[in-house]
């Protein structure tokens, strides 16, 4: 092992995939797979905070997930609700600030109120920011930003990349440095399509419930070995088309 300190990504975003296959391999229900995924999320939040990650974004329920069977959708909504009920005190104690990415207004009202409460109750916490992408879609987020820009009567020539960034659900949050997808799938699946333009991607066959602290450290070690060029040349600043 080298003595070089690990380069820690400021913002890690995760597509938590594979709960269903994890459950199926054990003869369990999909709901039990999502329960195991939720348990794992608790561990990963703690691990990320210990490592020094400042922002952790998790893709938990997409705008497309409404198309899953009704009982699975209801099970996932119930999981978010019980997780807030059972974990909020501990999240507060651990310095976790909760934020929500997605459309709250089309979520069940009682759940939306709980999410708002969890955001309010943790707003003074600064150890790690946990962005929960729930009822979230990357394209829908761009639509949302355009709607807000028009509603704010902003003139076309005033629209800049920074302005669009500021109007996304992630306004004020730095772009992800590292995006992880578990379960061996190689797709973006409508996740942070604007913000991940220059993120490093890490794909692993590990199913989400098994993606533990050691796996997170491995992903961060791989990230640390990558050279990020942001469209420029190695160590320089000449403009080239591909980064």
Residue 39 or 152 with smaller CB distance to ligand FPP: 39
What's the token pair of residue 51?
């490592």
- Which alpha helices (H) appear in the chain, and where do they start and end? 19-24, 30-51, 70-93, 109-121, 138-151, 161-167, 213-225
Shortest distance in whole angstroms from residue 191 CB to ligand FPP: 12
- Distance (Å, whole) CA 76 – CA 65: 10
Q: Which of 96, 116, 99 is nearest to 107 (CA)?
A: 116
Q: Which residues bind ligand FPP (CB under 6 A)?
A: 16-21, 34, 37-38, 41, 60, 65, 79-80, 83, 132, 183, 208
Phi-psi region of 92 (alpha: psi -120 to 50; beta: other; left: phi over 0): alpha
Q: Note if 120 is an active site residue.
A: no
Shortest distance in whole angstroms from residue 219 CB to ligand FPP: 17
Catalytic residue among 65, 125, 210, 212: 65
Residue 49 or 79 with smaller CB distance to ligand FPP: 79
Query: How far is the CA of 26 from the CAs of 29, 30, 40, 185, in angstroms?
Result: 9, 10, 16, 20
Nearest residue to ligand FPP by CB is 20
Shortest distance in whole angstroms from residue 41 CB to ligand FPP: 6
Shortest distance in whole angstroms from residue 136 CB to ligand FPP: 11
Q: Note if 131 is an active site residue.
A: no
CA-CA-CA-CA torsion sign (42, 43, 49, 55): negative
Q: Which residues does the annotation mark as catalytic? A: 17, 65
């Amino acid at each position: 092992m080298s003595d070089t300190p690990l380069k820690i990504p400021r913002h890690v975003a995760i597509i938590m995939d594979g709960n269903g296959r994890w459950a199926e391999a054990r003869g369990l229900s999909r709901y039990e797979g999502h329960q195991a995924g939720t348990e794992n999320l608790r561990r990963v939040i703690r691990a990320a905070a210990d490592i020094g990650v400042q922002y952790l974004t998790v893709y938990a329920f997409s705008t497309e997930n409404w198309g899953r069977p009704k009982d699975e959708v209801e099970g996932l909504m119930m999981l978010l609700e019980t997780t807030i009920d059972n974990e909020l005190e501990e999240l507060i104690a651990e310095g976790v600030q909760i934020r929500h990415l997605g459309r709250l207004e089309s979520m069940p009202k009682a759940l939306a109120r709980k999410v708002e409460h969890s955001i309010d109750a943790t707003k003074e916490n600064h150890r790690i920011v946990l962005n929960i992408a729930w009822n979230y879609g990357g394209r829908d987020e761009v639509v949302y930003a355009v709607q807000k820009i028009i509603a704010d009567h902003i003139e076309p020539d005033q629209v800049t990349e920074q302005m669009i960034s500021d109007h996304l659900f992630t306004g004020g949050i730095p772009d992800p440095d590292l995006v992880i997808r578990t379960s061996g799938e190689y797709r973006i699946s409508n996740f942070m399509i604007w913000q991940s333009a220059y993120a490093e991607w890490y794909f692993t066959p590990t199913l989400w419930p098994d993606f533990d602290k050691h796996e997170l450290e491995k992903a961060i070690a791989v990230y640390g070995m990558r050279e990020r060029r942001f469209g420029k040349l190695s160590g320089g600043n000449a403009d080239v088309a591909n980064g």
